[in-house]
């Protein structure tokens, strides 16, 4: 069924109604936030130390421990993410301090990342405003009109091995080390301070433990955590019937509830990922702390209309590559070839 363009008045009414429901979940609980810091940072540090000690036993055991450390680092990134939204603490200053600290641990400059992520929230699902803080997604028409080199690069970019392997290295090790084009002074300084702090930490740890020891411990953690983080972000906005629309008919609420997934993970993975699987709730109201997202979802029937994506079913999203404007869904390159026949 065709979707009628939404008027400005309808969008405002629609947004106000749903967002009003979320208002009571937007107040951070300082004790819960502090406890989340404790049960994320301390286990991460302990696991990191155990990895160091395990080098005396077996590097295979070290690598196994890196999976656990990476899980805690993903959880730390969610704290960093909440601070960027101003939702982790009531105090703006507290969010900035913890945001910067967790940003250093996750190789992410706080103010620059927060700016780009805010743009992502304001433009998710809008076909006319792609390009900042999102995954490169071409429409069928754009792909067919592109020259050979653009098509080749797009296929490389959308290849799972590149996106979740090289992509993580590029984003966290390289891209985050430089200010974005047109970055404001605050974002620029954020990148510089993050880089300087990382350099100091690596010099201290490198001199204390040895640079080789430092690298063989921390690089695997970062690689696993980066891959998991990009996968989570990918699944949250790259599923078959994801919502996309032109600016003149784009709806904020539909972009949240239909353009962001409810990724139903096993409880242990839900814990490590800081409830970010309730992404439809998060996009509707980013001021909700991660520990209230599940509560908001299950206490309000309107949010349960979002079809959950299970861990097994999410693997299907790997085949989706381009947006088909006519069918209003993501399709794979194989389907794209069939459309040309």
Domain assignment of residue 119, yes or no: yes
Other CB atoms within a 10 A radius of the CB of residue 180 amount to 18
Q: Report pLDDT for 16.
A: 53
Q: Report pLDDT for 341.
A: 53
Report the domain count for the chain: 1
Domain assignment of residue 116, yes or no: yes
Q: Is 287 helix (H, G, I), strand (E, B) or coil?
A: coil
**Which residue in the block uniquely carries the two structure tokens 């209003």?**
328
> For the stretch 266-302, what's the b/e string if a residue is b when 16 or more beta carbons lie within 10 angstroms of its beta carbon?
eeeebebbbbbbbbbbbbbbbbbbbbbbeebbeeeee
**pTM tops 0.85:** yes
CA 41 to chain centre: 19
Domain assignment of residue 323, yes or no: yes
DSSP 8-class letter at 300: -
The residue-averaged pLDDT of 215-233 equals 96
Domain assignment of residue 107, yes or no: yes
Q: What is the mean pLDDT of the chain?
A: 91
Q: Report pLDDT for 303.
A: 86
Angle at 177 between CA 176 and CA 179, to 5 degrees: 80
Domain assignment of residue 250, yes or no: yes
| 3-state helix vs strand vs coil in the chain, percent to 5 | 70, 5, 25
Of the listed ranges 15-29, 224-238, 317-331, the least confidently predicted one is 15-29
**Which residue in the block uniquely carries the two structure tokens 């363009």?**
5
Task: Please report how many Cα atoms fall inside a 13 Å half-sphere around the Cα of residue 273, on the Cβ side.
Answer: 27
Task: Please check the confidence at residue 138 and state whether its pLDDT lies above 80.
Answer: yes
Task: Please check the confidence at residue 6 and state whether its pLDDT lies above 60.
Answer: no
Domain assignment of residue 109, yes or no: yes
Closest CA to 75 of 106, 47, 98: 106
Q: Report pLDDT for 190.
A: 96
Instruction: Give the model confidence (pLDDT) of 185-208 as tens digits.
Output: 999 999 999 999 999 999 999 999
Cβ(306)–Cβ(264) below 8 Å:
no
The residue-averaged pLDDT of 67-90 equals 98
Domain assignment of residue 309, yes or no: yes
Q: Which residue has the higher pLDDT, 338 or 320?
A: 320
Domain assignment of residue 2, yes or no: no
Backbone angles phi, psi at 264, to 5 degrees: -85, 100
Q: Report pLDDT for 19.
A: 79
Pair of tokens at residue 295: 């509560």
Pair of tokens at residue 262: 């409810």
Task: Please check the confidence at residue 60 and state whether its pLDDT lies above 70.
Answer: yes
Contacts of 92-99 with C-beta under 8 Å, sequence gap 24+, read: 98/37
Owning domain of residue 216: 8-340
CA pair distance 157, 166, nearest whole angstrom: 9
Instruction: Give the model confidence (pLDDT) of 157-180 as tens digits.
Output: 999 999 999 999 999 999 999 998
Instruction: Give the model confidence (pLDDT) of 34-52 as tens digits.
Output: 999 999 999 999 999 999 9
The residue-averaged pLDDT of 13-30 equals 81
Task: Please check the confidence at residue 133 and state whether its pLDDT lies above 90.
Answer: no
Task: Please check the confidence at residue 2 and state whether its pLDDT lies above 50.
Answer: no
């Amino acid at each position: 069924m065709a979707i009628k363009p939404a008027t400005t008045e309808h969008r405002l009414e629609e947004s106000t109604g749903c967002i009003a429901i979320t208002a009571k979940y937007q107040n951070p609980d300082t004790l819960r936030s502090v406890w989340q810091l404790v049960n994320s940072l301390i286990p991460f540090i302990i696991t990191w130390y155990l990895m160091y000690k395990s080098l005396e036993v077996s590097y295979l055991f070290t690598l196994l421990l890196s999976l656990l450390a990476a899980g805690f680092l993903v959880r730390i990134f969610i704290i960093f993410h909440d601070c960027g939204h101003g939702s982790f603490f009531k105090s703006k200053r507290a969010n900035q301090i913890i945001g910067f600290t967790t940003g250093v641990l996750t190789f992410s400059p706080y103010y620059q990342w927060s700016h780009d992520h805010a743009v992502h929230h304001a433009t998710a699902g809008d076909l006319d405003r792609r390009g900042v803080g999102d995954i490169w997604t071409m429409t069928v028409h754009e792909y067919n009109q592109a020259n050979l080199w653009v098509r080749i690069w797009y296929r490389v970019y959308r290849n799972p091995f590149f996106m979740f392997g090289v992509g993580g290295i590029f984003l966290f090790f390289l891209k985050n080390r430089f200010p974005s084009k047109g970055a404001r002074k605050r974002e620029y300084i954020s990148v510089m301070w993050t880089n300087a702090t990382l350099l100091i930490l690596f010099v201290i740890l490198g001199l204390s433990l040895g640079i080789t020891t430092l690298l063989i411990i921390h690089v695997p953690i970062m690689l696993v955590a980066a891959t998991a983080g990009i996968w989570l972000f990918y699944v949250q906005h790259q599923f078959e019937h994801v919502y996309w629309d032109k600016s003149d008919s784009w709806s904020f609420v539909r972009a949240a509830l239909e353009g962001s997934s409810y990724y139903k993970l096993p409880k242990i993975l839900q814990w490590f990922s800081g409830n970010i699987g309730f992404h439809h709730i998060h996009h509707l109201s980013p001021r909700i702390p991660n520990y209230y997202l599940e509560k908001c979802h299950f206490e309000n029937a309107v949010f349960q209309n979002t079809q959950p994506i299970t861990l097994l079913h999410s693997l299907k999203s790997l085949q989706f590559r381009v947006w088909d404007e006519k069918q209003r869904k993501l399709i794979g390159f194989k389907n794209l070839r069939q459309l040309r026949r």
